[in-house]
Amino acid sequence: MLKAVNLEVKDGEFLSIMGPSGSGKSTLLNIIGLLDAPSAGEYSLYDKSVLDLKEKAKVDYHRNFMGFIFQAYHLIEEMTVYENIETPLIYKGVKSRDRQAMVADLLDRFNMVAKKDLFPQQLSGGQQQLVGIARAIIGKPKLLLADEPTGNLQSIQGEMIMETLQQLNNEGMTIIQVTHNEKFAGYGKRIIRLEDGIIRKDVKQ
Amino acid sequence: MNIKNNLSVSFRRLKSDKTNTVINLSGLILGLGIVSVVLVFVLNELGYNRAFANRDRIYRIINQNETDNNRWACTPLVAGETAADKFAEVEAYAHQYNIQGIEVKKGNEFISNPDVLSTESSFFQMFGIKILNGSLSEFDQAKGKILISKKAAEKYFGGENPVGKVLTLRYSGKEYSQEVAAVYEDFPQNSTIKASLIADMEFGLENLAKNMISTGTPPTIQELKESWNGIFFTNYLLLKKGTSLSGFEAKLHQLGVDQSDKDNKLNFSLQALTDIYFGSEKIVDNNRGDKGNRSMLFILASVGFLILVVACINYLNLTSAQALTQTKALAVRKVCGAPRNSLIWQMVFESVLVSLIALPFALLLGHFSFPYISELLGKSYQLSHTSQFLSSIIILIFITIATGALSGFLVAVKITSFRLVETLKGQHSNVGDKHNVRKALVIFQMAVFIVLIAVMALVQKQVHYAFNKDLGIAKEGLIRIPLGDHNYELYKQEIRKNPNVLQVSGALWLPPHKGKMNVTIPKVDNPKEMVLVKGLFVDYQFAKTMGMKVVLGSDFDESKNNSGVMINETAIKALGLKEIIGEQTAFGQIVGVVNDFNMYSIHEAIEPMIIGLDPKMCREIAVKISTENTPETIDFLKKTWKSTGGIVPFDFDFTDDILNQIYESDIRFSKTIGLLAVIAIIIASLGLFGLSLLISQQKTKEIGIRKVTGARVGEIIFLFNRDFVVWVAIAFVVATPIAWYSTNKWLESFAYKTELSWWIFALPGLLALGIALLTVSWQSWRAATRNPVEALRYE
């Protein structure tokens, strides 16, 4: 439960939100990601208020502006790696040939070309998260939101994921992640500490 | 929306959850299969007489008989031609006279050919029955010609051309050689007019003159043709297009009035051809064809509809439960930018896909079960490519798609409305949650089952009652033998020689029977008042042989040589008798009164009956044999039959065999309801099974935890079953009043009813409970006995 949060995030930032369980980190992330709404207060994206948006407008933001990565990956089990990654493009109305090209690019970048016809159950945790990231970024969103992206992964896999995120941030993507892990929080450029619904610390690195 | 993508993802999902998919499909296939059969059947019934050309312009003349207050479909022969002559509105007319007792020579023997009628050549044009071979010319000129149906042509002539060949007919011992003039196409199955042989009017009139039962001198053929006093011919009129029905009917009515005299009052009206099948319940018809039972059809259609609803509800239930396993995936799609509409569309698509998969199997099921069900319902419909058949297929496809679409839509709207964040956390994946709609649907299915079983139990009980009720005759050792054209007196004489043959008598019809003779006679105390009585002709010793009590006076007795009439007890009041024995009725002097007996099925109350003595009118022999040595006695009867010149093979029945025929439709009805009840419970069980499977899959973790904390297998099973037991109990409470009402209503068609015992209603409830428990327990037992470590491992 968030009590009083005042937060401003600039374009291109890499923000890590940390805090104990129940501090409201995920809630904050959900609000930012328009998956949830605050009970009071304001929220603007690029100086436009995004409170009380209609469904259609929210969908618009999800399609064109934001990408999500989850701790549990949330890949669709009945679809192959290829199909999972291309899903956002289908909702954007991208033509089949263009989709093929875009997905191929990402598969290449993440070294997953050989795995494109496999199903999520056949991949390791790290690989699944990579697919999750690919899906999240294929629509070239400006903002990437990650809820404990390394929570289900071993150290080495986690590092790989964080490095990938860092790369993306260097390329200009704004990233906000929620994490427990001090070390992985450090990949970000700014760390916020949430406790009992209030920001206790705000440190730029 | 990517259709190909949707298709392959949907298929993968269905394949990965094979058990649930198969369960869901099975219920739907079963339901749709039955519906397809019911559809074809109902459409056939509703389409009776609609296959005839000009069907909307053909009417038959009905006469409201003033003396017995009944409406008669048989009217004077002369009415049709007079109406055609006088009224310009009549484009054509034709008669129908059904000829009974015709035998046809095939090879060296004569076989019975029941459906024969006589009419004019105008009939064919009027009703649109095509002539396939030969010609109708000169048919009306009574040159001894006969017309045969396509089936009859095959039966009697094989593949040869029958036109010009001779067909030998026989009735009342006399043979008639008729020349085949033409072959006509078979009548449509669903018509009230059907015949395999059609003779000309002269032939029919001659047959009528010979067989008429009358109370004076029999009329000549010429008199039959001209008399305005007739109850043997059905007059069909084809009216010109655009004729005002009421206007013409008034004219016809006036014609009847003009032709009436003080002994014969004619009150004409018209009945549409298309109304005959269902609208002739109270109409007396000597040319009776198939009679439709509107309430039975309604029941059948309702039950069919009910099964459909049960199957669809099941589909909806299972789809919605299965969909809960999909909520996460849908939430993810939302996050990827899917608008709610596309998610709804996706689910509708998948749901319609599954239901369409069920369709061909349902059609197959319908195809194979059709002959069996058709026989069960007492009709010999065949699946031919009529317009009714095509209509049913189209309707079925529509129902299938509608079921799939509606289920998919309802489910999709519900589950896409869940809050995104909660869904991703897994909060909306639990099937076991209190879901009121699903509960209500399961209860509904159970209630349907309970009602059907209760009705079936009651019908069975009533049939049992019909068989065991005291009919007023002594059934033990009573055999009946159809006489045919055997030598009655000779046979009687010979079999009496056997000491095991206790009594022999005969009658036109032996009770219980279907044959009816309605006569109106004046009351004895007030001859101006007429009363409708049933008639019967019997031989001497009738009452004694049948085991009836002679309440007053005596039986017809050869030794006493008494003749006259006997009556039953009900007739005493009906005829207004005081001294009874010795009083004079229109048919003779009363010599005796027998106890009331059930001449017909117990659907009908006992009516006043006059029994006349006339051994020559007997068509059935009644033999009372001793209960010892029955097989030997029957053998003796058979041998004696042959030795006294029996050409037709010996045939006999005990009373119970006859009862089977009389209650044929009721027995069939009970079988049909039973079948439908079984189907309903199979569908419901499939639904319960699927639901409990889903719940057990979901509760794996919970059960594991319970076991680890010390719960016993029995306790877990109890927990599982508790909910379902409550649901069945509610279903029972809801269903019982409906069952009570339905059974009462059905019993109303009987004059003699059995008791509505409590167990008729308790039994189905217990049965439902047992089946529910069985279905659910299996799942819960499996879940409860699984190793808890296994269950908890995949957390």
Q: What are B216's two structure tokens?
A: 């004076």
Dmax (CA) of chain A:
49
User: Across the strands, what pairs with B99?
Assistant: B116
Q: Beta-strand (E) ranges in B517-570?
A: 518-522, 530-538, 550-553, 565-568
Closest Cα in chain B to A62:
B337
Q: What residues in B contact A76, CB-CB < 8 Å?
A: 9, 329, 332-333
The confidence score (pLDDT) of residue B298 equals 83
- Interface of B to A at Cβ within 8 Å reads 2, 5, 9, 12-13, 16, 328-329, 331-340, 342, 420-421, 424
> Which one is predicted more confidently, B726 or B5?
B726
DSSP for B321-350 reads HHHGGGHHHHHHHHHTT--HHHHHHHHHHH
3-class DSSP string for B686-750? HHHHHHHHHHHHHCHHHHHHHHHCCCCHHHHHHHHHHHHHHHHHHHHHHHHHHHHHHHHHHHCCC
Q: Using alpha carbons only, give the angle B118, B274, B241 rounded to the nearest 5 degrees.
A: 90
Q: With CA atoms as reference, report the closest residue to B396 among B748, B653, B40.
A: B40
- Structure confidence by residue, pLDDT tens digits, B674-715: 887 788 778 878 877 877 777 777 777 777 777 777 777 777
Residue B437 has pLDDT above 80, yes or no: no
Contact indicator for B308, B253 with CB cutoff of 8 Å = no
3-class DSSP string for chain A? CCCECCCCCCCCCEEEEECCCCCCHHHHHHHHCCCCCCCCCCCEECCEECCCCCHHHHHHHHHHCEEEEECCCCCCCCCCHHHHHHHHHHHHCCCHHHHHHHHHHHHHHCCCHHHCCCCHHHCCHHHHHHHHHHHHHCCCCCEEEEECCCCCCCHHHHHHHHHHHHHHHHCCCEEEEECCCHHHHCCCCEEEEEECCEEEEEEEC
pLDDT-derived band at B214, boundaries 50, 70, 90: low
Question: What is the number of other CB atoms lying within 10 angstroms of the CB of residue B619?
Answer: 16
Q: With CA atoms as reference, report the closest residue to B162 among B141, B144, B177, B147.
A: B147
Closest Cα in chain B to A68:
B335
Q: With CA atoms as reference, report the closest residue to B751 among B609, B610, B599.
A: B599
Q: CB B336 to CB A74 under 8 A? A: no
Residues near B705 by Cβ (< 8 Å), separated by ≥ 6?
Answer: B788, B792
User: Across the strands, what pairs with B134?
Assistant: B182
Provide the residue ranges of all domains of chain B, joining segments of one domain with +: 55-284, 430-469+664-795, 478-662
Residue type, A160: M
Helix (H) or strand (E) holding B575: helix B569-575
Residue type, B84: A
Name the residue with tokens 């903002």.
A143
The confidence score (pLDDT) of residue B795 equals 41
Residues near B768 by Cβ (< 8 Å), separated by ≥ 6?
Answer: B446, B449, B450, B453, B681, B728, B731, B732
Mean pLDDT of A149-161: 88
Mean pLDDT of B636-660: 84
- Structure confidence by residue, pLDDT tens digits, A14-36: 999 998 877 788 888 888 888 88
Q: CB B5 to CB A36 under 8 A? A: no
Residue B216 has pLDDT above 70, yes or no: no
Closest Cα in chain B to A57:
B339
Q: CB A59 to CB B338 under 8 A? A: yes
Q: What residues in B contact A59, CB-CB < 8 Å?
A: 337-339
Mean pLDDT of B371-383: 75
pLDDT-derived band at B104, boundaries 50, 70, 90: very high
Residue B434 has pLDDT above 60, yes or no: no
Name the DSSP letter for residue B351. H
pLDDT-derived band at B199, boundaries 50, 70, 90: very high
Please state, in angstroms and rounded to a whole number, the distance separating the CA atoms of residues B540 and B558. 6
Q: With CA atoms as reference, report the closest residue to B565 among B512, B521, B528.
A: B521
> Which one is predicted more confidently, B74 or B688?
B74
- Structure confidence by residue, pLDDT tens digits, B774-786: 888 877 777 777 7
- Structure confidence by residue, pLDDT tens digits, B286-313: 888 887 778 778 878 887 888 888 888 8
Q: Judged by CB atoms within 8 Å, which residues 88-117 of A form the interface with B?
A: 88, 90-92
Residue A193 forms contact with B (CB below 8 Å): no
Mean pLDDT of B783-793: 66
SS3 assignment, position B182: strand
Q: Which of A35, A78, A139 sits opposite B9 (nearest CB)?
A: A78
Contact indicator for A87, A135 with CB cutoff of 8 Å = yes
Residue B105 has pLDDT above 50, yes or no: yes
Residue B261 has pLDDT above 90, yes or no: no
Q: With CA atoms as reference, report the closest residue to B609 among B622, B620, B594, B588.
A: B594
Name the DSSP letter for residue B117. E
Mean pLDDT of B491-514: 89
Q: CB B421 to CB A36 under 8 A? A: yes
SS3 assignment, position B272: strand
Residue B339 Cα distances to A45, B347, B557, angstroms = 21, 13, 95
The confidence score (pLDDT) of residue B429 equals 67
Q: CB A91 to CB B339 under 8 A? A: yes
Residue B3 has pLDDT above 80, yes or no: no
Residues near B299 by Cβ (< 8 Å), separated by ≥ 6?
Answer: none
Q: CB A83 to CB B13 under 8 A? A: no
> Please, is B30 exposed, middle or buried when counting C-beta atoms within 10 Å of its C-beta (0-12, 13-18, 19+)?
buried
Q: How far is A79 from chain B (nearest CA, A)?
A: 6
Residue A76 forms contact with B (CB below 8 Å): yes
Please state, in angstroms and rounded to a whole number, the distance separating the CA atoms of residues B696 and A31. 36
Question: Whole-angstrom distance between the N-terminal and C-terminal Cα of chain A?
Answer: 27
Mean pLDDT score of chain A, rounded to an integer? 88
B207-212: list long-range contacts, CB under 8 Å, 24+ apart: B207/B97, B207/B99, B207/B118, B207/B171, B208/B97, B208/B232, B210/B172, B211/B100, B211/B101, B211/B172
Name the DSSP letter for residue B755. -
Q: CB A62 to CB B2 under 8 A? A: no
Least confident of A106-110, A180-184, B515-519: B515-519
Please state, in angstroms and rounded to a whole number, the distance separating the CA atoms of residues B38 and B301. 7
Q: Using alpha carbons only, give the angle A188, A88, A130 rounded to the nearest 5 degrees.
A: 45
Please state, in angstroms and rounded to a whole number, the distance separating the CA atoms of residues B165 and B145. 10
Q: What residues in A contact B12, CB-CB < 8 Å?
A: 78-79
- Structure confidence by residue, pLDDT tens digits, B320-330: 777 877 888 88
Question: What is the number of other CB atoms lying within 10 angstroms of the CB of residue B602?
Answer: 23
- Structure confidence by residue, pLDDT tens digits, B454-489: 988 898 899 889 888 888 888 888 999 988 778 888
The confidence score (pLDDT) of residue B18 equals 82
Mean pLDDT of A48-60: 83
Quote the percentage of chain B above a pLDDT of 70: 95
Contact indicator for B98, B287 with CB cutoff of 8 Å = yes
Q: What residues in A contact B336, CB-CB < 8 Å?
A: 62-63, 87-88, 91, 135
Please state, in angstroms and rounded to a whole number, the distance separating the CA atoms of residues B640 and B491. 7
The confidence score (pLDDT) of residue B384 equals 65
Least confident of A145-154, B22-31, B60-69: B60-69
Please state, in angstroms and rounded to a whole number, the distance separating the CA atoms of residues B586 and B425. 93
SS3 assignment, position B199: strand
Query: Domains in chain A and their CATH numbers?
Result: 14-204 (3.40.50.300)
- Out of A121-130, B370-379, B426-435, B522-531, give the one with best mean pLDDT: A121-130
Q: CB B421 to CB A63 under 8 A? A: no
The confidence score (pLDDT) of residue B70 equals 78
Residue B410 has pLDDT above 80, yes or no: yes
Q: What are B168's two structure tokens?
A: 């030998």
Go through A78-87 and write b for each residue having 16 or more CB atoms within 10 A of its CB, e for each that does not.
bbbbbbbbbb
Name the residue with tokens 């055997």.
B486
Contact indicator for B356, B12 with CB cutoff of 8 Å = no
Residue B432 has pLDDT above 50, yes or no: yes
Q: How far is A78 from chain B (nearest CA, A)?
A: 6
- Give the relative orientation of helices B340-376 and B18-46 as an angle to the nearest 10 degrees: 50
Q: Which of B12, B328, B336 sits opposite A91 (nearest CB)?
A: B336
Q: CB A76 to CB B332 under 8 A? A: yes
Mean pLDDT of B619-632: 89
Question: What is the number of other CB atoms lying within 10 angstroms of the CB of residue B141?
Answer: 11
Q: What are B250's two structure tokens?
A: 């008034």
The confidence score (pLDDT) of residue B2 equals 64
pLDDT-derived band at B93, boundaries 50, 70, 90: very high
- Structure confidence by residue, pLDDT tens digits, B531-547: 888 889 899 999 999 99
Mean pLDDT of B756-785: 83
Q: Using alpha carbons only, give the angle A32, A35, A36 rounded to the nearest 5 degrees.
A: 80
Mean pLDDT score of chain B, rounded to an integer? 85
Contact indicator for B267, B66 with CB cutoff of 8 Å = yes
> Which one is predicted more confidently, B398 or A61?
B398
Give backbone dihedrals phi and psi of B303, rounded to 5 degrees, phi first: -65, -40
The confidence score (pLDDT) of residue B794 equals 47
